[in-house]
Structures are given as C-alpha cells and as structure tokens.
Chain A
Amino acid sequence: MLEPILIDVASLNLPALLPMAILVVGALAVICADLAVKGLNRSFLTMITVLFIILDFGAVIGYTGPARGFFDVLLVDGIAIIAQVIILVASALFLPLSLSHRHFREFRMAEFYALFMFMIVGFQCMVVSDNLILIFIGLETSSLALYTLIALHNRAKAFEAAIKYFTMGALAAGFYGMSALIFYALTGSVEIYQIEKVLMARHFEPLIGVLAATVFMLGALGFKLSLVPSHTWTPDVYEGSSAPLAGYMSVVPKIAGFVVAMRLFEMLVSSGVVWVEHILYAAVVLTMTLANLTALVQEDVKRMLAFSSISHAGFMMAAILIGTTQANTALFLYWTLFMFTNLGAFTMLWIVRHRKNLWDERYQHPYTKFSGLVKIMPTTATIMGIFMFALAGMPPFSVFWGKLYLISAAINSEFIFLAVIIALNSAIAVYYYMKLVIYMFLKEPVTADAKLYATNASTPLKVIVGVAVIFTIFAIVFVEPLLTVITKYVIASGF
C-alpha cells in the first residue's frame, strides 16, 4: 500500500524547464506541420525554427527564478544563462544559412529542423544542469541529432564524416559513463556539487580513484572539445559536413562542452590536486600547438579553419585551467567574438561554394581557389581578409580583444609561461590565416569568371555576413558591455 507521493508544483520550479520545453514543442510542431502540409518551403521551416529559438531566447533571458528546479536536476546559474544565450544566438544566426541560392536536399526536409531543435535542447540540458545523468542525456541527444544532421548532407564525405564522428562519439560516451560511474562509486552521488562536497570532506581520497574519474571525463569532454589526442575527428567532420553546419559545430557544441568542463574541472583545479592542473596544462599546450602546426600545412581552407578552431578551443581550455573569474569571463567573451567571426568565415565559404570541385578533385575550398580573388570580387576578398585577420588576432578586430583579455587573465594569475605560449602560438597561427590573404590579394587569378564564386549567394547570406562583418570590425564597441554583463553573471554563479 504505497503512500501517495506529494510534490509541491512550485518546488518543481517548472519555468526552469521552459526553454527546453519550448524547443521540444517546436520540434514536434514542425514535424506535425510537415505531416499535415506537404512540401513546405524551407524558408517557412527556417523562419519557424528561428521564431521558436527566439521564444526560447526570451524564456532564457526572462528567467531569473531560484537557481535549481525540476527535482533539483536543473541548475540555472549565470554561466548557464550566458551559455544558453550564446548557443541560441549562434543557432539563430547559423540556421538561416539554409536559405542559400542553391537548394540542398536536407534543407527541404522538416526533420532537419526538428533535429536541429532537439540538438539545441540537448546543448541546453548540458549547460543548465550539474547532474551527471542529465548532462549525459543532453550530450547524447545533441550528439545523435548532430550525427544525423551531418549525414543528411547526403554526400559520400558527409557519411564518412558522420560515421567517424558517431563512432568516436560512442567511445566518448563510454568514457563519460565510466567516469560518472567512478565518481558515483566514490561519492554515492551524481550531482556535481554533492560529489564536490564529499570529495572535499575526504580530501580527495582515494586520489587514484579521483584521478581515474578525471581521466575518463577528460577523455569524454576532450572529444567534444577536440583536445589532443581526441581531436582527430574535427577536420574530417568539418570537411565532410556542409559549411554552415561545420561553422555551427566549431562554436556551439564546444561552448556547451566548456560549461560542463568548467563545472567539473573548476572543482578539481581548485581542489589543489596538482596532477590535474599539470595534465590540463599539457593538454592545453599540446592542443594549441599541434593544431596550429598541422593547420600550417593544410591545402583546404575549411580544413585549415577546422584546425584553427581546435587551437582556439585550446585557448579556451587555458581559460579553464587558469580558472579565475577573469579567465572564465575571458572564455565567454572570447567565444562570443569568435562566434561572430567564425560565422562570417564559414558563411563566406558557404557563399563561394560551387557545385563541382573545379579547383581540386578532393577539396571544395583549396587555397588556389581564392587566388587573385581581389581582382575578381574585391569586396568578397576584403571581407574574407578581415575575417582572417580577426581570427589571427590582429587588432583591432574582434578576436584580438578576447585573446587580449585571456592573455591578461593568464598573466594576472602568474601563468606567464602559458601567456607566452599563447602569444607564440598566435604568431604561428598568423601564417596560415595570412596564407589565404596572400592568395587572395597577392596572387594572380586563375579564372576571371566572377560567377563561379557567387553561385550560392543569396540575400539572407549576405545579410548574415554583414552582421558578422559589423561585429568583427566594431568589436571594440561591444567589448565593454559584453564584459560587464558576462562578469556579472560569472561572478553570480561563483566562478
């Protein structure tokens, strides 16, 4: 004879669940609409999705309730909110890239948009929770959706990319589970804050257990954040998937991963377990440097950008390693600025995308494709150049300010060596960004036919590029307000 369980609805704090709920509803709605009405135009679907994202955005912004909710598995703190904002903005900006001039099969299917929304839900779950289970679910939801989205691109390379990504993802999931298991076994809880409490009380004994758990977690997150040596999927997947998706992947999943990493590693780094710090240090340096070095020798711009995004992720891990408020602020600032720049860069690639690989039998965007572009399409070349300079951290463009703030964070907490390494890396990095600029501005064009470069251009794309350019050039203007907001939230959530 069971007692009826009484749960006060207020204590569930459902509004905390609202953002995810909205998108789930949206996803279902899109599918149903597709069932009801045949042949919905992609523009309709895109815009509906964007609208739902905006609703979600509103819910995220609007929510300022008590931190925990829904059986206390949700933790809506400052970084969660910032992260969600970044995720949603990025999604809202990347999705309209579907409205390109040429038609692609996936964008005509309602499932694409449904999956897209589910993926966002997954990311949100990752960031708004400190419950390992929910994080796991979020991780898997988003990943599975993402695999499918990639595969939807329906090119041989896309399948290969999807399979590689999927398989490694499965392995990563295994690692995650293992790490969660060990933590659970050590502490009897799957709530990060509980785990932290217990471990603190026990001074992280048995240390080996903790370390093992950390190692597995590093493996799992390292895959998401593409840290060396789990980064190998990144270039292939980027190359295989369509430019918009690649750009999206370079920004959103990572930010979600960073939030999780923050929640987990902050505790370990601050715990004073030097081992973790050293390992992280090594991982950071390796990731930055190796990715940069490999990027030097790429022939394809998309692959180059993939490697560059790996090294950028390395910078971000540095922020987590440093772990001060300023560092975490720097992380979000950097990522916001990076998002806009990368958005621009990948959109440009999307615009110059041509049906056939005219320039190289394998690559879509080999450097040679861009040679002498300034003589064919000056504006395009200039814009692309600006994005490249921005990514290279050339002042006063966007990413420079993030890098500045990050290095300063490193210095202010006496990580001088790290700061120097970051600086040197950006010196190396400048070469491969310059390479594109040099091809565009200094080489002679291979073809005079401007049309080849504009086959996929359309008004929405141009608008998005415009937005990206404005943000990239006038980043200075946004840095100050961004800093204030981010700092406020980061401090609020005690990082």
Chain B
Amino acid sequence: MITLTHYFILTGILFSIGLVGVMRRTNLLMLFFSTEILLNAINVGFVAVSKYYNDLSGQLFAFFIIAVAASEVAVGLGLLILWYKRNGSVDLNSLQMMKG
C-alpha cells in the first residue's frame, strides 16, 4: 500500500539528487538536467498531494511547472549554445571572467 508519505519520500530523494547534482556538476548541461530533476521532484509531490486533497490546483501547478521547465530548457540551451560557440566548452569553470 503506497501512502502519501512514500510520495514525499520519493520527492525528497529526487529533490536531494537534484540538489547534489546542482552542487557537484561542472558540466553546464548536466547542471540543467539536475535543475529539471528538482522541478520534476516537485511535480511528483504536487500531483500526489492534489490527489490526496482531491483538489485540482496541485495538478494545475504541476502542469505549469512542466511548461516552465520546458521554456527554461529552451532558454538554457540557447545560452549554452551561445557560450559553446564562443569558447568551445560547456564546462562552467570556463565562465570565471567576473569575480571579486
């Protein structure tokens, strides 16, 4: 029997994975993936909760998050490509022009 708690645990795990990825990854592409994981973890949570309350707004939220995630990917990849074209690497240690 799977309860809401299990969903939360799943969310938590996914979220943590996302966070770790965000912190550890030096490849921009991977970094973006991790952020996607974050968002999807949240989606899971929302859908579960909305089912629990029989309230649609949760799922609504989930859908919007998906949409936003998609557009984020669009923008992110755009930036990524720009950057790659400029100095052929997607390693984020390469962007350290500005500091201090």
**Is A in direct contact with B (CB under 8 Å) within the complex?**
yes
CA distance A170 to B32 in the complex (A): 8
Verify A178–B31 contact, CB threshold 8 A.
no
CA distance A140 to B8 in the complex (A): 25
B8 — which chain A residues lie within 8 A by C-beta? Answer: 185
Residues 153-177 (chain A) with a chain B CB within 8 angstroms? 156-157, 159-164, 166-167, 170-171, 173-174, 177
Residues 273-316 (chain A) with a chain B CB within 8 angstroms? 298, 303
CA distance A173 to B67 in the complex (A): 13
* Residue in B closest to A299 when the chains form the complex, CB atoms: B100
Residues 34-65 (chain B) with a chain A CB within 8 angstroms? 35, 38-39, 42, 45-46, 49-50, 53, 55, 57-58, 60-61, 64-65
Query: Quick check: is A240 within 8 A (CB to CB) of the other chain?
Result: yes
Contact among A151, A174, A239 with B39 in the assembled complex (CB-CB below 8 Å)? A174
Of A77-85, A129-137, A320-328, A423-431, the segment with at least 4 beta carbons within 8 Å of chain B is A129-137
| Chain B interface size range | 35 or more
Query: Quick check: is A242 within 8 A (CB to CB) of the other chain?
Result: no
Verify A177–B97 contact, CB threshold 8 A.
no
Known contacts A171-B35, A239-B98; A159/B79 CB under 8 A: yes
Verify B98–A177 contact, CB threshold 8 A.
no
Contact among A147, A164, A173 with B68 in the assembled complex (CB-CB below 8 Å)? A173
How would you classify the secondary structure of chain B's contact residues: helix, strand, loop or mixed?
Answer: helix
Known contacts A133-B64, A160-B97, A184-B61; A174/B83 CB under 8 A: no
Query: Quick check: is B95 within 8 A (CB to CB) of the other chain?
Result: yes
Enumerate chain A interface residues (CB-CB to B < 8 A).
132-133, 136-137, 140, 144, 147-148, 151, 156-157, 159-164, 166-167, 170-171, 173-174, 177-178, 180-181, 184-185, 188-190, 235-236, 239-240, 298, 303, 362
Q: Which 4 A-B pairs have the closest CB atoms?
A: A174-B38, A177-B42, A170-B35, A188-B53
Q: Name 9 A/B residue pairs within 8 A (Cβ), A-sorted.
A: A137-B68, A157-B98, A163-B79, A166-B79, A177-B38, A181-B46, A181-B49, A185-B49, A236-B98
